[in-house]
Structure 1
Amino acid sequence: MQLIDTDGAPPAGALVPDQGPSVLTGSRRVGRLPLRRKAGYAAGQLVDLVVSSMLNIFVLFYVTAVCGLPGGLAGLALGGGIVVDAVMDPLIGSLSDGWRSRFGRRVPFMVGALVPLVLTFNLMFALPSGLGQAALFLWLMLLSVCLRISLSMFHLPYQALGAELSDDYDERSSIAVWRWGIGITGTLAVVGLGYGVFLAGPAGVSNRAAYLSLTLTLSVLLLAGALVAIRQGLATRYMQHQTTAPTEAIHLRLYGEMREMFRNRTFRILFAASLFFNIELGVNQALGLHVATFFWGLSSKQMQIVFVPAVLGLAVGAPLAVPLWKRFEKRTVLLIGMIGMVTCHALPVSLQLLGLLHLSKEGLIAVLSPLVFLGSLTMALSLIAFLSIIPDAADEHEHLFGTRREGLYFAGWAFATKAATGGGVLIAGVVLQILNFPAQMTEQAHAVVLPARTISWLAFAQGPGAALLSIAGIALALRYPINKQSHARIISDLTARKRAAP
């Protein structure tokens, strides 16, 4: 078998398999990738971060305070959509791992997801005003499920594609940094266009009509990133690992594949750590706009002053990760990120509830902004570390079980992430319901006065209460076993096995 060049193009005269038992492989996945390859691939991260940022920052507030759906029903519809999608993730990951086509294993899923993804993304923020609570709940649930599954159909194969660009321990960290660095411009666009343009009028975040204009504008950015990544996916489809075509139907083989995954101790650690990490993140983000509005009493303009440092922190996390990885192991960077994020999430609310912050609005913003910046920066470090760690864990899985499971590994991580985030949104909705948070605020949401006890409990749930959920995740991350030396041994052994194979 001929080797292809480092840029991912097949050699002259090479035959491209179509539906055979394996795909053309043997690409040089060790060494540095061209920057245009990494940047082109990384553009696909805009899809996930545009959609996820819009949902994490705005959707619960939009559905409850603007559209008038009770918090419990809103949490059930939004959280339920995430949970249904999480159940679908292993199926998508397994299908992607075993797919055969002239366009590779991953690109067909990415292309097929785009139309339903863009459609449901915009419909989610264009809820009809004339529906009753039951109809609004059912429509929101349907949109939530369809949007989340469409996002997974694009993002899981996209993630698996990145895991196959390089086998090098350090280069995978570089790919993860590029993904995050380019993708975070999607979050910057959500915050900047949201607070600074479309929701900057007198009604602020209560302006119902402005949300659809915002998502339509963001859809242009989303599509641009998706198409650039798809182009790179086509150009590098020959760099995929060699795999054996599945012989069983998907519904028959999926159980065995999942059982194999959970036999791997490393996978179990990553799965559970991600679960606890994302429950905290889901609760914190879902209630963030409520707390900013009613606990801190911030206007839309003041929210922008506070939330822009949050996006800058997410952006700074990418270049900061590079020197940290040169000095520390990936597990250490993950722990630094998790501990730092939880501390920054819990500290300001805790200090205020204890009566230790006696500040004017200007002083409050001066305190909140750097803490929000540090919280976002350390969250970015955590997520980049996860993105870099998972391909290494997939290598260990092949070493132990003899099978490649990139798609399923990212599906498992996505399952934990989405189930936890869905659980976090559901918890946030239940908190709103228990606290009798008013459902009908429409354009006057920013002017509503809530009881002091309700505001305090709302803030506790979003800050220190949610932070308590991450302690178990931090403890589990301490047990992650792979480092640079052990990964080098794994790759060396896998290379020797492949050379010895017929």
Structure 2
Amino acid sequence: MTRRRRPLAPEAQHGATRLSLTERLSYGAGDFGFSLAYNMAGAFLLFYYTNVAMLPAAAVGTIFLAARLLDAVIDIFVGIAVDKTRTRWGRTRPYFLFTAIPYALVFILVFTVPDWSQNAKLIYAFLTFKALGILMSLGSIPYTALMPMMTTDTGERLKLGGMRSIGTSISVILGTAATMPLVGLFGGGDMQRGFLATAILFAGLSLIALFLLFRNCKERYEDQASPSFAVLPAIGEMLRNRAWLVCFGFTLLYFVRFGTMISLTAFFAIEVLGHPWMISILLPAISGTLLIAAFIAPPILARTGIRKGCFAACLIAIVLFLALPLTEASPASFLVLYIAASVVTSVTITGIFTMAAETVDYHEARFGTRNEGLLSAGISLATKVGMAVGSAAIAYSLGAAGYVPTDVSDAARETIRWSYYGWPVLLLALQALVVLAWPVERRAAA
């Protein structure tokens, strides 16, 4: 196979790979722009559908699962489209420009379920949620593909991964801790009005962040090969890329865990701990601690390497989660352990962002092609399918346990309790095993 050449930007040709602070901050803002809507939806859409729109939990689980499984096809096509795109703005940046407004509008529609019949509401919920997923793909896949185009330096990629973690963290804090207070403030007792007003506010913030991403982040390392290539052989190469397979599996398991916990936390705080006020601490701590990890993860992973660092983080987090049930009677002790576990697991997400970029270089070394869009599509698919499986598992569990918002049974409470502890421990153990197969151990330059 003919190796694709990568003409470099002038500054790259002279060895200047350092990125400006503005560029790094704007790259982080991109994750904020794409994640804010998704984090609010991930944290509260199950609650909104069941307790505000009054839809049955099992049907909602089916909506989540079916919508995300369709992404298996959609994400691959988006990735291929990115690899075939050639414009005056580059290969990835046009997607940020042209999807930002539709993404914001559909996000608002997701939290505007009309007062129709139950079947009509279910159809509306599926269509709007699916549309949000498609638009997320059209933006987030090019966003992930952008990092290896910005720099080939592992140290700079770790810094970009750290900034992306900050963007994710702030989006989680707003999308989780601030949502219910804002719903109460804007709604004045009307939760439907409160959710709608909050969605409008967050949509506006997302638009600003995505504009900064488009304006300030540039593609320095571009693949100038012909956009015409055979799709099936390219997918086959992706599936033979060991680095990509490890990154996909590790990311999938992370987001299955993320999906279970973010969907279950509100129920857990209310029905098991008996402290609704803890929702505004527990939810942002799930990944809001990325703000801390954004500063500690790059130097840790630069020193240990991704494989050893992420493996150790998973093992430490397992120990902390196993200790959590012992502290249920003490909110302070529970929160200390929980936040510590969240900080440790947040280190792995910075590793994921860097791994996704490294898979491109590994792919080029093995197959002579880069295919940033296609490889990024696979990672995007792992995040969304993982979230879908996690959220659907919780919805089905609640349905099987006979969860009724107005009369919660002891069986439902026990299902909520052990799902909250058991799933994270199992999934962290699987992540630890998967990351041991990571084949790239380039240390960052000092």
Is TM (by shorter chain) over 0.5?
yes
Matched, 1:338 2:314: yes
Normalised by the size of structure 1, how large is the TM-score?
A: 0.81
Residue of 159, 174, 177 corresponding to 1:174: 159
What are the within-5 Å matches in structure 2 for residues 208-227 of structure 1? 208-227=192-211
* Equivalence for 2:60: 74
Residue of 245, 254, 259 corresponding to 2:226: 245
* Equivalence for 1:461: 419
Distance change (3 Å), C-alpha of 1:200 and 1:371: farther
* Equivalence for 1:276: 253
Aligned partner of residue 289 in structure 2, secondary structure: helix
The Cα of 1:400 is off from its aligned counterpart by 0.6
Residue of 338, 350, 374 corresponding to 1:372: 338
1-structure distance, mates of 2:275, 2:98: 42
Distance change (3 Å), C-alpha of 1:479 and 1:223: same
2-structure distance, mates of 1:436, 1:231: 50
The Cα of 1:307 is off from its aligned counterpart by 4.2
Distance change (3 Å), C-alpha of 1:344 and 1:211: farther
What are the within-5 Å matches in structure 2 for residues 35-184 of structure 1? 35-128=21-114, 130-184=115-169
Aligned partner of residue 208 in structure 1, secondary structure: helix
Matched, 1:432 2:398: yes
Deviations 1:387-441 (A, max 9, x none): 0112112101101100012212211111122112211122111111101112xx5
* Equivalence for 1:500: none
What are the within-5 Å matches in structure 2 for residues 223-234 of structure 1? 223-233=207-217
Aligned residues: 440
2-structure distance, mates of 1:122, 1:95: 27
* Equivalence for 2:295: 319
Aligned partner of residue 484 in structure 1, secondary structure: coil
Distance change (3 Å), C-alpha of 1:464 and 1:210: same
1-structure distance, mates of 2:328, 2:432: 32
Q: Is the 8 A contact 1:279 1:421 kept in 2?
A: yes
2-structure distance, mates of 1:48, 1:268: 24
* Equivalence for 1:194: 179
What are the within-5 Å matches in structure 2 for residues 422-501 of structure 1? 422-438=388-404, 441=405, 448-484=406-442
Q: Is the 8 A contact 1:47 1:222 kept in 2?
A: yes
Amino acid at match of 2:207: L
Distance change (3 Å), C-alpha of 1:191 and 1:199: farther
Matched, 1:395 2:361: yes
Deviations 1:17-61 (A, max 9, x none): xxxxxxxxx655753212122112221111222022102211111
* Equivalence for 1:298: 275
1-structure distance, mates of 2:327, 2:338: 16
Q: Is the 8 A contact 2:7 2:223 kept in 1?
A: no
The Cα of 1:478 is off from its aligned counterpart by 0.9
Aligned partner of residue 287 in structure 1, secondary structure: helix
2-structure distance, mates of 1:413, 1:231: 25
1-structure distance, mates of 2:236, 2:32: 32
Aligned partner of residue 91 in structure 2, secondary structure: coil
Q: Is the 8 A contact 2:403 2:409 kept in 1?
A: no
The Cα of 1:138 is off from its aligned counterpart by 1.2
Q: Is the 8 A contact 2:398 2:415 kept in 1?
A: no
* Equivalence for 1:22: none
Q: For structure 2, which runs of at least 5 residues remain unmatched after alignment?
A: 1-5
Amino acid at match of 1:333: G
Amino acid at match of 1:210: G
Amino acid at match of 1:57: A
* Equivalence for 2:262: 285
Amino acid at match of 1:221: L
The Cα of 1:311 is off from its aligned counterpart by 6.0
Deviations 1:444-490 (A, max 9, x none): xxxx44222220112212321453234222211111111116x99xx
2-structure distance, mates of 1:138, 1:255: 34
Q: Is the 8 A contact 1:50 1:187 kept in 2?
A: yes
Q: Is the 8 A contact 1:69 1:133 kept in 2?
A: yes
The Cα of 1:198 is off from its aligned counterpart by 2.6
Aligned partner of residue 43 in structure 1, secondary structure: helix
* Equivalence for 1:9: none
* Equivalence for 1:411: 377
The Cα of 1:378 is off from its aligned counterpart by 2.4
Amino acid at match of 1:99: T
Q: Is the 8 A contact 1:280 1:466 kept in 2?
A: yes
Aligned partner of residue 242 in structure 1, secondary structure: coil
Over the aligned positions, Cα root-mean-square deviation in angstroms equals 2.5
Q: Is the 8 A contact 2:151 2:221 kept in 1?
A: no
Deviations 1:134-161 (A, max 9, x none): 2111111111110011011111111211
Calculate percent identity across the aligned residue pairs: 22
1-structure distance, mates of 2:422, 2:15: 44
Q: Is the 8 A contact 1:307 1:369 kept in 2?
A: no
2-structure distance, mates of 1:453, 1:245: 59
2-structure distance, mates of 1:77, 1:196: 27
Q: For structure 1, which runs of at least 5 residues remain unmatched after alignment?
A: 7-25, 442-447, 489-502
Distance change (3 Å), C-alpha of 1:44 and 1:29: farther
Q: Is the 8 A contact 1:44 1:183 kept in 2?
A: no
Q: Is the 8 A contact 2:27 2:213 kept in 1?
A: yes
The Cα of 1:289 is off from its aligned counterpart by 1.3
